Chain A
Amino acid sequence: MPLPRLIPCLDVAQGRVVKGVRFEGLRDVGEPVELGAAYSAAGADELVYLDVKATLEGRGALLELVARIADRLAIPFTVGGGVRAVADAEALLEAGADKVSVNSAALERPQFVTELAARLGSQAVVVAVDAKDGYARSRSGSSATGRLAVDWVREAEERGAGEVLLTSIDADGTRAGYDLELTRAVADAVSIPVIASGGAGSARDVADALDVAQAALLASILHENPARLESLRAELHGLGVPLRDAV
């Protein structure tokens, strides 16, 4: 298996990086281009950019901003938010994304995952699942779907998804640890890589998540102090987590 990955996540609204708790009370925590470049330089294994308002505002992600971030990165870049058509995804790849993340549109029309995988290849299709009490929610967590997260990820894999980005709404922004039970259930349900998201507070939390999932998404734990990524890598190394030599 490839090495476990640490993936900083830029949640973006109105062109700024924001972070809340359980998807609410979003605070401004920085400028996305500089923050992305800083994480790339500090040893991030990948970068994720999620336009958290795009679906709610009925638009796509900001292509010009995506391109400016992509030009500063020498690591893989996943972009999501408001992707509703294959053309949206192609525009993001054209702007410099390596993978697109889809969530609400795929839940509304699962065939969309099939279409994306056929056009872009599975390796470029990340299905993001925001889960609460084990159920997938759409539209930045605001709408119930009635679908169990484990059932939805199984279908997404069958339709050609290349990765699952699993966020626990219950744990998001709490820094109280990842939802390991949910993450394990999802990782057991599929044979594609799983990225755990929501709840990182300490190196121990991240190590525990990487025991279950193939990658860990990091947001609140980093944004106020991006240099934390380097010390986090060192702490994880001390905990026996094998990470790449980033220099």
Chain B
Amino acid sequence: MNVAVCAYGAGNVRSVVAAFRRLGADAAVTASPAEVAAADLAVLPGVGSAASAMDGLRERGLDAALCERVAAHRATLGICLGLQLALEESEEDGGVTGLGILPGRARRLRDGRVPRIGWAAIEPGGETFYFAHSYAAETSAATARSEGFVAVAESGSFLGVQFHPEKSGAAGARFLERCLSRV
């Protein structure tokens, strides 16, 4: 199983690669649109700001590679900011146009302590994952929530998660294993 983890200057990709390798997958970091297009599973990780992340994707031509993958029904996973970038837009950084793979937009969290950092259960499923975010998706494609926030959103072959499976211990490993088994 070949996993391409997009490197575009947005955060800790090393831990995503390490998590897939622990599961026996052949995972590597890449900024090459051709490698992203060819992989069995492409992963769009990401932490940091939406505007600089979108710029990073566009500069490398990864935005088109990801959209083409999803149009061709090839498995693609977005993690945290990777989920938010897949939306039509984000209100972060004064407004950012996203990839438009998922309907809806990312909005700033308004209640509780922000960033929302820590472990929380998602429903349905009841498993507990690690979250670290200041924005959350508002989308009709949501398939699981955590304390009311969108935790998982899916459209076609794209699966987006707000939590960090690569940082979520045993529950996260089980989640990534399910991603691999669906490819």
Contacts and interface: CB of A to CB of B under 8 A. Distances in A.
Nearest to A93: B12
A246 interface: yes
Nearest to B47: A121
B170 A193 contact: no
Nearest to B81: A121
A162 B167 contact: no
Interface in A226-240: none
Nearest to A215: B118
B114 interface: yes
For the residues of B in contact with A, the DSSP-based class is mixed
A121 B49 contact: yes
B132 A123 contact: yes
A37 to B, nearest CB: 12
Interface stretch (A18-26, A94-102, A200-208): A94-102
Which of B48, B147, B166, B169 is the most central at the interface, judged by chain A CB atoms within 10 Å of its CB? Answer: B169
Nearest to B22: A74
A98 B56 CA distance: 19
B73 to A, nearest CB: 30
A245 interface: yes
A103 interface: no
B166 A74 contact: yes
B64 interface: no
A114 to B, nearest CB: 13
Contacts of B116: 2
Given A74-B167, A74-B169, A98-B167, A123 B118 contact: no
B117 A162 contact: yes
Interface in A101-131: 118-124
A119 B164 CA distance: 20
B14 A214 contact: no
Interface residues of B, number: 34
Contacts of B19: 74
Nearest to A243: B119
Contacts of B15: 70, 73, 96, 98
Nearest to A118: B49
A5 B118 contact: yes
A163 B170 contact: no
Which of B11, B22, B117, B170 is the most central at the interface, judged by chain A CB atoms within 10 Å of its CB? Answer: B117
Contacts, number: 104
A33 to B, nearest CB: 14
A75 B130 contact: yes
Contacts of B164: 76
A152 to B, nearest CB: 18
Given A76-B167, A97-B12, A191 B113 contact: yes
Contacts of B90: none
Nearest to B18: A71
A144 interface: no
B25 interface: no
B47 to A, nearest CB: 5
B156 interface: no
Interface in B103-134: 112-120, 128, 130-134
B168 interface: yes
User: Shortest 5 CB-CB distances between A and B: which pairs?
Assistant: A2-B118, A121-B48, A244-B119, A123-B132, A244-B128
12 contacts: A2-B116, A2-B119, A3-B120, A45-B119, A74-B170, A95-B14, A98-B15, A120-B47, A123-B133, A124-B11, A162-B117, A214-B117
Interface of B: 11-12, 14-15, 18-19, 22, 47-49, 112-120, 128, 130-134, 147, 164, 166-170, 172-173
Given A76-B167, A162-B132, 4 more contacts: A1-B118, A5-B118, A123-B115, A246-B169
